[in-house]
Amino acid sequence: LAPIRRRCRPSSSGQPQAVKGTSYPRNEQAAPGRRNRRESKMRDIVVLLGPPGAGKGTVAPIIQNKLGVPHLSTGQMLRAAVKGGSKIGTELKEIMASGKLVSNSVVLKVVQERICQKDCDRGFILDGFPRSLEQAKMLNDILSQTSEGVTLVVEIRVPDEVLEMRICGRWMHKGSGRSYHVKFSPPKSMKFQSNGEVDPATMKDDATGEALYQRKDDTATALKQRLKLYHENNNALCKYYRKVLKPVNGNQLIPKVQAAVSRMMDDHMTSTFVERNPYNLVDNENIKSKL
């Protein structure tokens, strides 16, 4: 499908407005996943859900390559906004410097500014937003102004006990963001103490030799609280997005998870092609070759 340029800009109220001279079909009450059938060239808007340690970073590149759209993680968007020095970036920098939590409205402004950029003409993948039902409804309010909605929600499901094993053994390199795991992907320098525990002094980055660190919330106690909050919010999100929700079993070997996501995306792209081109007499066997 040919890319389409979304001409929008934030207003003083924080909501995107159509540029003068640009016409958009009206559909202000669009529900999640609903699309205006009169507009055949729609953006692919994907939301990626999954608890900490589920493997969203493994799944996202597959979706990105299939659709040809950017992967937008909340953390990356916030850091880019601060670095860019825009009005919202300056506001965000002051909030973060004060140690305060970033409000939903500020996060929404950052997301809104980012999804209007040129590389999002064909769509985008949101990772880490929305995190709650309130955020999902705020996102839908923005998208409905251009007669759009979330077209696919990919939920990676992993049992809590498996997540604990994955996360509590995780070590990070601050400079690059490289991730290691004492069991699945240990650094070459890792050694054990006499009691069988990992020696923290030996945890070094393979590339730079710099010390690795563990996040404060990558402990069993902190993880239990994080997962409790995640499940409360995620249950509401899954119900809200039920018409476009596609679950993936993340509790299997990485190649199997990748293959499952690849098949799911092929099915999604085929059904989307047929829906957006209802009058094209295309043999079903040839649909995928046209995507």
Q: Known catalytic residue: 170?
A: yes
**Residue ranges of the alpha helices (H) in the chain?**
56-67, 74-84, 87-98, 104-114, 133-144, 160-167, 220-240, 254-276
Catalytic option among 109, 166, 170, 204: 170
Catalytic option among 66, 114, 122, 226: 226
Beta-carbon contacts of residue 255 (< 8 Å; ≥ 6 apart): none
The one-letter code for the residue type at 279 is Y
Catalytic option among 215, 224, 228, 243: 215
Catalytic option among 6, 34, 56, 166: 56
- Torsional class of 123: left (φ above 0), alpha (ψ -120 to 50), beta (otherwise): left
- Torsional class of 128: left (φ above 0), alpha (ψ -120 to 50), beta (otherwise): left
Comparing C-alpha atoms, which of 215, 106, 127, 146 is closest to residue 7? 146
Q: Known catalytic residue: 276?
A: no
Q: Known catalytic residue: 56?
A: yes
Q: Known catalytic residue: 166?
A: no
Catalytic option among 7, 93, 131, 276: 131
Phi, psi of 125 (to 5 degrees): -115, 125
Which whole-number Å values give the CA distances from 209 to 59, 121, 187, in the listed order? Answer: 28, 41, 10
Any idea how long the chain is? 291
Catalytic residues: 56, 131, 170, 215, 226
